[in-house]
Chains A and B, each alone.
Chain A
Amino acid sequence: MKKRLLGLGLALLVLGCAPQPNVRFVDNSISGDISVEGVRERTKGQLKEIEVFGENESGDYMKFRYRVVWKDKDGFEIKSMSSNWQDFSVFKKTPYQFSVIAPSIDAVEYMVYINEPIDN
């Protein structure tokens, strides 16, 4: 019984730390500072809209960047300005969210990349 509970606890821990399937950290060094709790999806008009939400778990005000790569039903990338890096900042120990609308009615798949900011 104890072993089962331990296994369940470990599985929950692993799953809890696992990144969202549609979100990736470009540089893993930031994964200790920021968490991604989930991605909400909805359709607006004919366009898919996503909202990524999580928390700045560090004790500092932090800056990050994100970009979203959208793909059509055949897996082809749809180029748009939402594929450019966008800055976002979060106060310490504070939740965050950012939303992005699909660049085309053809966009069905997406991948969100989160990265360190550029110091300039």
Chain B
Amino acid sequence: MPWNIWFTLMNLSIINTNNKRIPLKKSELISLFLRVKLNKTRNNLMKKLISSSVIVATLLMTGCADKTQRIDMNNDTAGQVMGLDYRDFNEAAGKMVQSMLASGALDKKDGDRFVIAISDIKNDTMQHIDTDQLIKKIRVDLLRSKRAVITTAVGSNGNVDKMNKDVRKLNDDADFNQRTTQKKGQLIAPELSISGKIIQKNITMDDGKQQVEYYFQMSLTELSSGLAWWEDEAVIGKRGSGKSVAW
């Protein structure tokens, strides 16, 4: 029994029209007491509700938020995307290098290495792709194979090191020790060239789903004859919701 409420109510009285104080009846006191008690309980309940809502909201905003994670590139179990991601580039580049090495096109008679230039790799997809992403992987593995070297003196824009030319301008510069400059006729011309294309084909299926096909096509051309010594194609197909956008 909350006696403090009871005693406060006991002190209450009604002042009538003659300015006379009339104490409250017992029944009025009980009724008032119950009302005050009910209001207090309601207020407490509201306070508890508000504070617990604040805690839940804070937890939602902080504790339950998705944490940024690094991708395990060796065993990525995340779902596929309709566009091209690093897994697709790894797969396509890996297949191309395996196919090129297995074809025997890079077997030089004396065991020496071929000099390869990187020509154009066209992006014929609806996505913004830097084709160097694909070609770099191929270059790295071809160099590692010790069956070929890649020239950066000639080739498509992203594959040329302009320093090859710039450094030769130093031949006429008196500020440079001429014994340390690169002499004329030292650059090695390529014997082979790699070119390619990435094609995208979107198909809407009967059930409304979308099918996207990506074709990675590549050629190895012998530059003296213009004949393609090796060619291959890797296809990656994806099927997903019609609402998915692949560009």
Contact = CB atoms under 8 A, between A and B. Distances in A.
Contacts of B102: 44, 49, 99, 101
A12 interface: no
B105 to A, nearest CB: 10
Contacts of B147: 45-47, 105
A118 to B, nearest CB: 5
A118 B74 CA distance: 12
A103 B146 CA distance: 9
A44 B105 CA distance: 11
A47 B106 CA distance: 10
B84 to A, nearest CB: 15
Given A80-B144, A81-B93, A82-B98, A120 B79 contact: yes
Interface string A66-103: 00000000000011111011100000000000011101
A47 B100 CA distance: 12
Contacts of B226: none
Interface string B70-81: 000011111110
A80 B74 CA distance: 12
Contact of A82 (B78, B80, B94): B94
Given A44-B102, A46-B147, A84 B90 contact: yes
A24 B25 CA distance: 94
Contacts, number: 63
B104 interface: yes
Contacts of B76: 118
Given A82-B98, A118-B77, A120-B78, A47 B145 contact: yes
Contacts of B77: 118, 120
B161 interface: no
Assign chain A's interface to a size class: 20 to 34
B182 to A, nearest CB: 29
Nearest to A65: B75
A106 interface: yes
Contacts of A44: 101-102, 104, 107
B106 A81 contact: no
A29 B45 CA distance: 57
Contacts of A99: 102
B78 A46 contact: no
A83 B144 CA distance: 13
5 contacts: A45-B106, A78-B144, A81-B98, A103-B97, A118-B75
Given A46-B111, A79-B144, A81-B97, 17 more contacts: A44-B101, A44-B102, A44-B104, A45-B106, A45-B147, A47-B101, A47-B145, A81-B90, A81-B94, A81-B137, A82-B97, A84-B74, A86-B91, A106-B146, A118-B75, A118-B76, A120-B79
Interface of A: 44-47, 49, 78-82, 84-86, 99-101, 103-106, 118, 120
Interface of B: 74-80, 90-91, 93-94, 97-98, 101-102, 104, 106-107, 111, 137, 141, 144-147
- Which 10 residue pairs are nearest across A and B when measured between Cβ atoms? A45-B107, A81-B94, A101-B102, A101-B101, A105-B146, A120-B79, A118-B77, A104-B145, A104-B144, A120-B80
